[in-house]
A and B are shown apart, each in its own frame.
Chain A
Amino acid sequence: DAGITQSPRHKVTETGTPVTLRCHQTENHRYMYWYRQDPGHGLRLIHYSYGVKDTDKGEVSDGYSVSRSKTEDFLLTLESATSSQTSVYFCAISSSTDTQYFGPGTRLTVL
């Protein structure tokens, strides 16, 4: 399995609080991604990174920001969490623009 970890694995928070999710990889892959998965939807891309300090928006980026200061870490921040951001968040990595490998996921509940 690809060396990808996510932390925390589970989090419950309240509306309006900031939340940061961390994705860490040991594969030295260039590309990293954040997705969310919700019932009735396929995985949807939030943000992605194509190198250190190089990031861009995906299809559902509103309310989220990201940072990548090191190759191995990609952080996803919810500046002010809302109930609509309750979801399962997956990080993925890729060495090319092709096959992606996923981390174990973070279950976030916003009350």
Chain B
Amino acid sequence: GPKVLQIPSHQIIDMGQMVTLNCDPVSNHLYFYWYKQILGQQMEFLVNFYNGKVMEKSKLFKDQFSVERPDGSYFTLKIQPTALEDSAVYFCASSSPGQENTLYFGAGTRLSVL
């Protein structure tokens, strides 16, 4: 089936550094999402993105977070600066026009902030 790729699978960084998580969505998809899951806890919505703009974001999407998809390349989540509580698995998802409600997820990037 359609695949969403996330790079890297695991990232370890020091608190205060910047990190960029990369997502290669399904090729004809136009709606993009980031979710955050702390180990053993619920999957939480962060942000969704369409036509170059953030459509909606949750209170977990702090000012230190930003998303973009320059020129149809990777859909990225940047955190600058990182904090200890940002440690989690970040899942990217995408969906297609006409089937916006059917999400395809990547395998996640495990972010460890030390």
Do A and B belong to a common assembly?
no
Q: Which of B's residues lie within 8 Å of A, judged by CB?
A: none
